Chain A
Amino acid sequence: MEWTNIIFAVIVFAVLGGAIGALLAIASRVFAVPRNEKAEEITEVLPGANCGGCGYSGCAALAEAIATGKAKPNSCTVGGSEVAEKVAAIMGIEAEHTVRMRAQVMCSGTKDHSKQKYDYQGITDCQSAMQLGGGSRLCPNGCLGLGTCVSKCPFGAIEVRDGVAFVDYNKCQGCGVCVAACPKHIIKLIPFNAKHWVGCMSVEKGALTRTYCDVGCIGCRICEKNCEAGAIKIDGFLASIDYDKCTGCDVCISKCPRKIIWSGTTQARNPVIKL
């Protein structure tokens, strides 16, 4: 090999590299996209989990939407009021009050309490099970326990125990992805510090609910009558709690004949909420 070869190689590559470098440098100037500074600041403040709970593809997309006024500063459910305030400060507007939420699976029908229509052995996915007569569970509003919400949860906060999905409140960020994923629509977002909730979504008549499940709400109105704060209402044979009115007195828990009003602070069935 002659030494000129080496010189040529060096020169050619130097020119090639220099040309590409110069091209990119010019391109970065010519093709520069005006960036939204506010959007970048907001992206810094957002949690960065990219969970998609806000309905945008990620935190950067939400920041862009907030900066251009398409979304509200409190659109991030995960960040809660803290983030909402920071975002509002960047945008120079007053933050609306936000309440931290958590997901709650409104079903108490574990395997030994509820009846099955048939033995489901298909794909372990609630959507697939729904195709087969609405799932194997007799109750049309019961948790199928196949874990579609578990796989969708970006925070790993849900697990299936005894055929019913459970949310670990200390991991749940209240993004609401599971609420949208559940084909039975039995996951609800409730205020993080809601003390009590009714662990059932059955709106059928009491007698019918009894045939489905040992722990379904039969609409007996005992909780409604006994609630001193007037926070419980029966609507279509299903009790529901107004979380703003609930004082957490525990009376409904002790009175409920079906034992399906649960407390996040006292009972061991679910992980205890750290308030």
Chain B
Amino acid sequence: MTNILLLMFSAIFIENFIFSKFYGCCPFLGVSEKPDTALGMGMAVTFVMTVSSAATYGVYQILAMFGLEYLKTIAFILVIAGLVQFIEMFLRRFIPALYSSLGIFLPLITTNCAVLGAALVNIQNGHTFLESIAFGFSAAIGFTMAIVIFAGVRVRLRGANPPKCFKGMPLALITAGLIAMAFLGFSGMSIG
């Protein structure tokens, strides 16, 4: 149990997907204009990443049976894309409220590298089934935290008056770098 809690803490803070591994930078920069939409994106990623961690664990076991581990990346992309489509249809039919709140974010993360990254890291670190789900969930929580923090900062940046050459994306990138450096503080902690 402590093992899983440590794994989750480490996935959220120390090995934060965005600030230390640099996975999922595309939605991080693209969907962080407003805290509300950032939270929506984070929720969608959390949902998909948790489910896909479980699904890819199963798929990997099938691949391993046939000695096809080297094809895991392609298989994962296929499975995740199919899974997201399936979840989308399922939600639209049975939980329309959740569907409309996740909205366009669900199809957007079909090919999100953070989701694929979580699946691959699970394999790399030899996580068990439970650990895989815990890691996927907490890595996504870390992603959500990062994107919401960043969206909050960007709201303040919008009113700022920087030199013209820094306006918009350059300033956003610099800010993201500064937050990443702050998160570097966590990597000094050794856990386990």
Q: Which residues of B contact A33 (CB under 8 A)?
A: 92-93
In angstroms, Cα B162 to Cα A123, docked, is 11
In angstroms, Cα B82 to Cα A17, docked, is 9
Q: Flag the segment in A24-32, A92-100, A251-259 that touches B.
A: A24-32
**Which residues of A, 112-135, contact B by the 8 Å Cβ criterion?**
122-125, 128
In angstroms, Cα B145 to Cα A197, docked, is 50
Q: Using known A-B contacts A5-B67, A31-B92, A123-B160, determine if residue A16 contacts B85 with beta carbons closer than 8 Å.
A: no
In angstroms, Cα B79 to Cα A21, docked, is 10
Q: Using known A-B contacts A20-B78, A20-B79, A23-B82, determine if residue A9 contacts B92 with beta carbons closer than 8 Å.
A: no
The answer to whether A3 has its CB under 8 Å from any CB of chain B is no
The answer to whether A12 has its CB under 8 Å from any CB of chain B is yes
The answer to whether B68 has its CB under 8 Å from any CB of chain A is yes
Q: Which residues of A contact B161 (CB under 8 A)?
A: 123-124
**Which residues of B, 34-54, contact A by the 8 Å Cβ criterion?**
none
Interface string of B108-138 (1 = CB under 8 A from A): 0000000000000000000000000000000
The answer to whether B6 has its CB under 8 Å from any CB of chain A is no
Interface string of B66-92 (1 = CB under 8 A from A): 111001001100110010011001101
Q: Are A12 and B68 in touch, CB under 8 angstroms?
A: yes
Q: Using known A-B contacts A24-B85, A123-B159, A125-B159, determine if residue A9 contacts B93 with beta carbons closer than 8 Å.
A: no
Q: Using known A-B contacts A23-B82, A125-B159, determine if residue A16 contacts B90 with beta carbons closer than 8 Å.
A: no
Q: Are A8 and B62 in touch, CB under 8 angstroms?
A: no
Q: Using known A-B contacts A12-B63, A13-B75, determine if residue A31 contacts B68 with beta carbons closer than 8 Å.
A: no
Q: Which residues of A contact B66 (CB under 8 A)?
A: 8-9, 12
**Which residues of B, 85-106, contact A by the 8 Å Cβ criterion?**
85-86, 89-90, 92-94
Q: Are B92 and A124 in touch, CB under 8 angstroms?
A: no
Interface string of A7-49 (1 = CB under 8 A from B): 0110011001100110110011011110000000000000000
Q: Which residues of A contact B59 (CB under 8 A)?
A: 16
Q: Which residues of B contact A27 (CB under 8 A)?
A: 85-86, 89-90
Contact of B68 among A9, A21, A124 (CB under 8 A): A9
Question: How far does the Cβ of B80 sit from chain A's closest Cβ, in whole Å?
Answer: 10
Residue ID in chain B nearest A27 by CB atoms: B89
Question: How far does the Cβ of A40 sit from chain B's closest Cβ, in whole Å?
Answer: 15
What is the interface size of chain A, counting residues whose CB is below 8 A from a CB of the partner? 22
Contact of A16 among B79, B92, B93, B94 (CB under 8 A): B79
Q: Which residues of B contact A125 (CB under 8 A)?
A: 159
**Which residues of A, 134-157, contact B by the 8 Å Cβ criterion?**
none
In angstroms, Cα B155 to Cα A123, docked, is 11
Q: Which residues of B contact A5 (CB under 8 A)?
A: 67-68
Q: Which residues of A contact B82 (CB under 8 A)?
A: 20-21, 23-24
Q: Which residues of B contact A32 (CB under 8 A)?
A: 93
Contact of B89 among A21, A31, A124, A128 (CB under 8 A): A31
In angstroms, Cα B159 to Cα A125, docked, is 7
Q: Are A16 and B78 in touch, CB under 8 angstroms?
A: yes
**Which residues of B, 118-173, contact A by the 8 Å Cβ criterion?**
159-161
Q: Are A28 and B71 in touch, CB under 8 angstroms?
A: no
In angstroms, Cα B155 to Cα A128, docked, is 13
Question: How far does the Cβ of B176 sit from chain A's closest Cβ, in whole Å?
Answer: 21
Q: Which residues of A contact B89 (CB under 8 A)?
A: 24, 27-28, 31
Q: Which residues of A contact B92 (CB under 8 A)?
A: 31, 33
- Among A12, A30, A125, find the residue whose CB has the most chain B CB atoms closer than 10 A: A12
Q: Are B67 and A31 in touch, CB under 8 angstroms?
A: no
In angstroms, Cα B161 to Cα A128, docked, is 14
Contact of B93 among A12, A23, A24, A31 (CB under 8 A): A31
In angstroms, Cα B94 to Cα A124, docked, is 45
Question: How far does the Cβ of B188 sit from chain A's closest Cβ, in whole Å?
Answer: 36
Q: Which 6 A-B pairs have the closest CB atoms?
A: A123-B159, A20-B82, A31-B93, A31-B89, A8-B66, A27-B89
Sample 24 A-B pairs with CB under 8 A, ordered by A number: A8-B67, A9-B68, A9-B71, A13-B71, A13-B75, A16-B62, A16-B75, A16-B78, A20-B79, A21-B82, A23-B82, A23-B86, A24-B82, A24-B85, A27-B90, A30-B93, A31-B89, A31-B92, A31-B93, A32-B93, A33-B93, A122-B159, A124-B159, A128-B159
